[in-house]
Amino acid sequence: MAERSETESRKLLGRLREAMAEDSAGQARLDKIVHLIANSMGTEVCSIYLFRDEETLELCATEGLNSESVHQTRLRMGEGLVGRVAKYSRIINTDNAPSTKGFRFMPETGEESFTSFCGVPIQRLGEKLGVLVVQSKDTRDYSADEIYALEVVAMVLAEMTELGAFIGEGAALSARHQQSVMFKGACAQEGAAEGNVWLHEPRVVVTNPIADDPEAELNRLNEAVDQLRIGVDRMLEGAQGGDKEQLQVLETYRMFANSKGWMRRMEQDIAQGLSAEAAVEKEQSTARARMSQAQDAYLRDRLHDLDDLSNRLLRILTGQGQTSSADLPANPILVARNIGPAELLEYGRGLKGIVLEEGSVGSHATIVARALAIPLVIHAERITTEALNGDQIMVDGDLGRVHLRPDESIVTAFRDKIAMQAKAQERYSSIRDKPAETPDGAIVELHMNAGLMADLPSLPTSGAEGVGLFRTELQFLIRNKMPQRTELAALYSRVMDAAGGMRVVFRTLDIGSDKVLPYMTPHDEPNPAMGWRAIRVGLDKPGVMRMQLQALIRAANGRALTVMFPFVAQYEEYRAAKAEMDKAMERERILGHPLPASLEIGAMLETPSLAFAPQQFFEDVGFLSIGGNDLKQFFFAADRENERVRRRYDTLNVSFLTFLEGIVERCHVTNTPLSFCGEDAGRPIEALCLAAIGMRTLSMRPASIGPVKSLLRRTNLSELKEVIHAAREHGEQSVRPAVMDFLRTQS
Ligand code: PEP
Ligand code: MG
């Protein structure tokens, strides 16, 4: 970089800082800045466009274009060269603007006389804020040095915008982080919550983007990077022998922390006049812009790693963001890009709601949020850049919507909704100790699904008659090493204690597919949901299953024990698993440990094949539980985690209900106890239909028991069964419309 251009750039930044320090209005500052830039670069035009809403850019200040067009000229994202710079977060530099792809003529600005154009995005940490443009009459190719200087200026403008230096009249100059914003995400855990934002990754604000002593800034950067490297090395030492994925991430951190390219770019930024933290943030912004465009998942992950590392460095440099959960606001709603299951558990039940930018319905964090019954919205794009700690926030987990800094009207409507839900809860608690008995005398047993010790307190308050599914894998997923037998035995024993004699169905480890244990060698499978998972792993590598069965027998310590094997696809698998249980019992007997007073062994029916197993299987198996989540995905060949297809087929589709009815009949013939424990059991309409086709035991999230019981107690199942059969005879695809009509006539 030429020494002269560095000095020029520093001079310009120095003047910008003076402009910022002046006690003037936002508009006056902007006017001064465009004037300064145009002068410093010797170019006729300099303009600043800022977003007035997510889609519209507005000309906010100009030197050289028609001053009447300020605040009048507007462009949509992607429109004209300016709109394209914003849309693609890419610089456009041309000496012949009119013949450049995307050019749009704006007569009101008088720009027709300017042929050369250079536009640079104004962006901050992946958020698009506007565009900085220079233009000139003569055919001029802005040099690499000049463009670099413009980028640095754009970065400073972004920081100034964030700091509120340009607040003025109109939408484009309105204060940031104050408007009400609604985010449309996806629902991962139902429920509504109101509270205050708690950012999982605290936001760092750079208050001094410009510095005049590059030497001192370089020293600050070097010291901070040294500290960062030491920290990463320490983390690496601590992680040796543990979680492989975490190790890989830390190795990548180390690689970046020692990357010469990264350091060189930041040093150049400082030489141009930026402070050390502004240099870090500039590179972070560039990486974020690339991240949003990157198609390749591996590259995206690495850019994420760089982003995390930059955050660490910023925290070291500014001393900000060293908050602890002791600072949690009242009614905290966690806002994060993503979060791991163990971190989420650390926050625990104190959280009122969770909003993630990423996440998936089947992720471990989602499983934990569900277990804790905390409303969760995923895919709320950009919320971490928009939300500030302490902001008022409302989470609608039913619709997947989030209202940040909501208006009065939204607050009122939302509170009404919460009040209605609370009223419904009151109604449910009044029937808590009553059976789920229908007016025509059918009794349906309602049980709850659980997976954590934290779930058990809900057992007495929910009105459940037991735990119909205890997902044991959660205990394995939230640790970073294999739990020990004694640890597991103690935990299972506490679960049984908490259940106070009610039946708990322990499902043996269901790993593989989406549930990958961090401390087991990952197997790259083309289709893990149909791969080496659950009982398949348990039978091929029986060590863990044996340990788990032993832990269960010891936990029972003479009490009744119920064990269920997941994902059994054929009779033989059940027989082999049961033989393992027999062996475990025998071993415990020889060792002199007390054996369970009674032992029930069952299987989950999660693959269509098992519905067609020989009669002997149905006679042999202690009980069957339909894992509707998996069964449905295999029945319709529609991935339960794929947003594109997961809602495509209705559970009340005639084919699926007919199939389920067939299973009910087979169990009836052999007198095999049958239950249903997928998510659909907790949806009142679906639960009603399952009961109508003959299911008498349903297991669901604790919060669903009240609504399901309430509806069952009001519905005549034999009439509903006729409605279902009539809809099938009419050739309907789904029985839902007919069922809804029937229920409307009932209420
Ligand atoms: C199911 O598949 O329906 C089930 C209950 O198991 P999981 O959701 O844990 O796969
Ligand atoms: Mg399953």
Q: Check if 677 is active-site.
A: yes
401-404 vs 392-396, strand pairing mode: antiparallel
Atom of ligand 1 nearest to the CA of 473: 9
Atom of ligand 1 nearest to the CA of 606: 2
Atom of ligand 1 nearest to the CA of 471: 9
Q: How confident is the model at residue 339 (pLDDT cuts 50, 70, 90)?
A: confident
Q: What is the predicted pLDDT for the residue at 234?
A: 86
Lowest mean pLDDT among 21-25, 627-631, 737-741: 21-25
Pocket of ligand 1 (CB under 6 A): 469, 471, 510, 606, 627-630, 677-678
Tokens representing 456 are 């058990």
Q: What is the predicted pLDDT for the residue at 539?
A: 95
Rounded distance between C-alpha atoms, residue 399 and residue 680, angstroms: 17
463: Cα within 13 Å, side-chain hemisphere: 24
Residue 627 CA to ligand 1 center (angstroms) comes to 5
Over residues 156-190, the pLDDT tens digits come to 999 899 888 899 999 999 888 888 899 999 988 88
Percent of the chain with pLDDT over 90: 61
Q: What is the predicted pLDDT for the residue at 683?
A: 93
Which of 144-148, 386-390, 515-519, 727-731 holds the top average pLDDT?
A: 727-731
646 by Cβ neighbours in 10 Å (0-12 / 13-18 / 19+) ranks as middle
Residue 133 has pLDDT above 70, yes or no: yes
DSSP string, 686-737: HHHHHHHTT--EEEE-HHHHHHHHHHHTT--HHHHHHHHHHHHHTT-SBSHH
116-124 vs 92-94, strand pairing mode: antiparallel
Atom of ligand 1 nearest to the CA of 567: 2
Residue 690 has pLDDT above 80, yes or no: yes
Closest CA to 508 of 588, 442, 580: 580
Identify which ligand lies nearest to the alpha carbon of 507.
1
Which residue do the tokens 């607050």 mark? 411
Residue 65 has pLDDT above 80, yes or no: yes
Residue 102 CA to ligand 2 center (angstroms) comes to 51
Q: What is the largest CA-CA distance in the chain?
A: 96
Identify which ligand lies nearest to the alpha carbon of 362.
1
Atom of ligand 1 nearest to the CA of 566: 6
Residue 314 has pLDDT above 80, yes or no: yes
| Catalytic option among 187, 667, 677, 689 | 677
The residues placing their C-beta within 5 Å of ligand 2, an ion, are: 606, 627, 630
Q: What is the CA radius of gyration of the chain?
A: 31
Mean pLDDT of 534-561: 96
**Cα dihedral 343, 344, 348, 350 sign:** positive
Q: Whose CA is nearest to atom 9 of ligand 1?
A: 471
Strands of 152-227, DSSP E: 181-184, 186-189, 192-199
Atom of ligand 1 nearest to the CA of 627: 3
Q: Which residue has the higher pLDDT, 247 or 629?
A: 629
Tokens representing 223 are 């010291």
Strands lying side by side in the sheet with 392-396? 181-184, 401-404, 392-396, 192-199, 332-336, 353-356, 376-378, 186-189
- The mean pLDDT of the chain is 90
Residue 676 CA to ligand 1 center (angstroms) comes to 10
Are 470 and 450 in contact by the 8 Å Cβ rule? The answer is yes
| Catalytic option among 364, 403, 447, 725 | 364
Q: What is the predicted pLDDT for the residue at 481?
A: 81
Tokens representing 230 are 């030491």
Could you tell me which residues come within 8 angstroms of residue 515 by beta carbon, excluding any fewer than 6 positions away? Answer: 364, 473, 477, 533
Identify which ligand lies nearest to the alpha carbon of 477.
1
Consecutive H or E run containing 564: strand 561-565
Q: Check if 118 is active-site.
A: no
Give me the residues paired with residue 37 across strands.
none
Q: Whose CA is nearest to atom 8 of ligand 1?
A: 629
Q: Where are the alpha helices (DSSP H) in 557-627?
A: 571-591, 608-611, 615-620
Mean pLDDT of 658-674: 98
Atom of ligand 1 nearest to the CA of 449: 5
Site to probe by mutation for ligand 1, drawn from 629, 640, 704 as the one with most ligand atoms within 8 Å of Cβ, is: 629
Tokens representing 102 are 């995307």
Over residues 425-477, the pLDDT tens digits come to 888 989 999 999 999 999 999 999 998 887 888 888 889 999 999 999 888 87
3-state secondary structure of 129: strand
739 by Cβ neighbours in 10 Å (0-12 / 13-18 / 19+) ranks as buried
Closest CA to 445 of 623, 239, 219: 623
Residue 208 has pLDDT above 90, yes or no: no
Q: How confident is the model at residue 2 (pLDDT cuts 50, 70, 90)?
A: low
Q: Which residue has the higher pLDDT, 71 or 102?
A: 71
Q: How confident is the model at residue 254 (pLDDT cuts 50, 70, 90)?
A: confident
Site to probe by mutation for ligand 1, drawn from 510, 646, 663 as the one with most ligand atoms within 8 Å of Cβ, is: 510
Residue 530 CA to ligand 1 center (angstroms) comes to 14
Identify which ligand lies nearest to the alpha carbon of 515.
1
Q: For residue 604, what are the CA distances in angstroms to 353, 361, 629?
A: 32, 21, 11
443-450 vs 466-471, strand pairing mode: parallel
Residue 618 CA to ligand 2 center (angstroms) comes to 20
Rounded distance between C-alpha atoms, residue 191 and residue 179, angstroms: 25
Q: What is the predicted pLDDT for the residue at 245?
A: 65
Mean pLDDT of 573-591: 98
Percent of the chain with pLDDT over 70: 97
Closest CA to 353 of 303, 398, 308: 398
Task: Count the Cβ atoms, other than its own, within 10 Å of residue 735.
Answer: 27
Q: What is the predicted pLDDT for the residue at 3?
A: 64
Residue 1 has pLDDT above 50, yes or no: no
Rounded distance between C-alpha atoms, residue 516 and residue 533, angstroms: 9
Residue 445 CA to ligand 2 center (angstroms) comes to 21
**Cα dihedral 405, 408, 414, 415 sign:** positive
Residue 677 CA to ligand 1 center (angstroms) comes to 7
408 by Cβ neighbours in 10 Å (0-12 / 13-18 / 19+) ranks as exposed
Site to probe by mutation for ligand 1, drawn from 366, 452, 565, 630 as the one with most ligand atoms within 8 Å of Cβ, is: 630
Identify which ligand lies nearest to the alpha carbon of 632.
1
Q: For residue 165, what are the CA distances in angstroms to 25, 112, 244?
A: 8, 31, 46
Q: Whose CA is nearest to atom 4 of ligand 1?
A: 627
Residue 301 CA to ligand 2 center (angstroms) comes to 28
Q: Whose CA is nearest to atom 1 of ligand 1?
A: 627
Residue 691 CA to ligand 1 center (angstroms) comes to 19
Rounded distance between C-alpha atoms, residue 123 and residue 111, angstroms: 24
Q: How confident is the model at residue 568 (pLDDT cuts 50, 70, 90)?
A: very high
Residue 241 has pLDDT above 70, yes or no: no
Are 15 and 111 in contact by the 8 Å Cβ rule? The answer is no
Residue 31 has pLDDT above 70, yes or no: yes
56-63 vs 45-53, strand pairing mode: antiparallel
Which residue do the tokens 């180390």 mark? 254
Rounded distance between C-alpha atoms, residue 365 and residue 369, angstroms: 6
Mean pLDDT of 123-149: 90
Q: What is the predicted pLDDT for the residue at 139?
A: 87
Q: How confident is the model at residue 303 (pLDDT cuts 50, 70, 90)?
A: confident
Rounded distance between C-alpha atoms, residue 116 and residue 94, angstroms: 6
Could you tell me which residues come within 8 angstroms of residue 673 by beta carbon, excluding any fewer than 6 positions away? Answer: 602, 622, 623, 624, 667, 697
Rounded distance between C-alpha atoms, residue 430 and residue 428, angstroms: 5
